[in-house]
């Protein structure tokens, strides 16, 4: 149930079309749906403004199909499924109109909405190897109604590549900086712009990168103000947070 549906119920009470008791029963029975293997949170959009997202890793095709079908039955227009493997996606696609994005390991049911954010979200990567995490972030942001600019392979080993796109990063409402190795990209971008920067360390790198721990610690220790950091390889979390920032308006 989203905010508009809740508002419609309140208006029906005001107009005398339904009784307060009927409205209460509808609200009480809506919060979640127990599927046995999952409890679908129907009030997520009402509380947070964004409906529940399916985390695909570890779930069977039948479980994903069941959860997504229940969401559709409740009127959810777009369903995002993260960390989805190709074979599971192919099985789900037999029952549902799934669009699968292999690089991002994301499945989408429904149409990407028109952008209604304040400005643009820039997704920048240190190298091409960071693209899977970057695409997860970018597609998440787009699915949540944001305009995204992709700047891939603009890391500090060739700083002129980033500086050639200076207008794009300085025009951004929020920037997602994704890098492995030493994770310096977040600090460099943070020192150039006046908008929030979300650092995403990746597990890309040689042995002493410790599967992204080196980049994580470097980003956490950034000397640039305005840099926040999400977990290693968490493109979804970065895209979600960037969307929240891009939809904040003065109240």
Domain ranges of the chain: 1-30, 32-109, 120-246
Q: Comparing 55 with 49, which gets the higher pLDDT? A: 55
Q: Residues 69-111: pLDDT tens digits? A: 988 888 888 999 999 999 999 999 999 999 999 999 999 999 8
Q: Residues 155-184: pLDDT tens digits? A: 998 999 999 999 999 999 999 999 999 999
- Nearest one of 246, 105, 233 to 174, comparing CA atoms: 246
Q: What dotted CATH number matches 120-246?
A: 3.40.50.1970
pLDDT for the residue numbered 251: 45
Does residue 29 have a pLDDT over 80?
A: no
The pTM of the full predicted model, rounded to 2 decimals, is 0.84
Residue 227, classed as helix, strand or coil, is strand
190's CB contacts (< 8 A; 6+ apart) are 177, 197, 222, 224, 225, 226, 227
CA distance 28 to 25: 5
Mean pLDDT comparison of 25-34, 74-83, 139-148, highest-scoring range: 139-148
Q: Comparing 136 with 39, which gets the higher pLDDT? A: 136
Percent of the chain at pLDDT exceeding 70: 88
CA distance 90 to 167: 40
Token output for 87: 């074979």
Mean pLDDT of 49-69: 90
b/e code 128-154 from CB counts within 10 Å (16+ = b) = ebbbbbbbbbbbbbbbbbbebbebbbb
Q: Comparing 42 with 154, which gets the higher pLDDT? A: 154
pLDDT for the residue numbered 189: 96
Does residue 5 have a pLDDT over 50?
A: yes
């Amino acid at each position: 149930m989203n905010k508009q549906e809740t508002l419609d119920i309140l208006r029906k009470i005001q107009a005398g079309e339904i009784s307060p008791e009927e409205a209460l029963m509808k609200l009480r029975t809506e919060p979640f749906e127990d599927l046995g293997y999952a409890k679908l949170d129907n009030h997520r959009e009402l509380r947070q403004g964004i409906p529940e997202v399916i985390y695909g890793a570890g779930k069977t095709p039948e479980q994903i199909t069941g959860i997504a079908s229940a969401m559709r039955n409740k009127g959810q227009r777009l369903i995002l499924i993260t960390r989805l493997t190709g074979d599971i996606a192919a099985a789900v696609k037999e029952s549902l109109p799934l669009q699968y994005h292999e690089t991002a390991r994301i499945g989408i049911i429904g149409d990407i909405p028109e952008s209604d954010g304040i400005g643009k979200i820039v997704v920048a990567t240190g190298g091409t190897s960071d693209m899977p995490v970057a695409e997860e972030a970018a597609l998440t942001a787009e699915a949540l109604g944001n305009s995204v600019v992709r700047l891939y392979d603009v890391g500090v080993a060739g700083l002129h590549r980033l500086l050639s796109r200076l207008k794009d990063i300085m025009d951004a409402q929020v920037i997602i900086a994704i890098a492995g190795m030493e994770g310096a990209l977040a600090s460099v971008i943070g020192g150039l712009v006046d908008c929030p920067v979300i650092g995403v360390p990746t597990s890309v790198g040689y042995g002493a990168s410790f599967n992204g721990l080196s980049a994580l610690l470097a980003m956490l220790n950034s000397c640039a103000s305005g840099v926040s950091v999400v977990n290693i390889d968490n493109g979804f979390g970065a895209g979600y947070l960037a969307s929240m920032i891009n939809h904040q308006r003065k109240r």
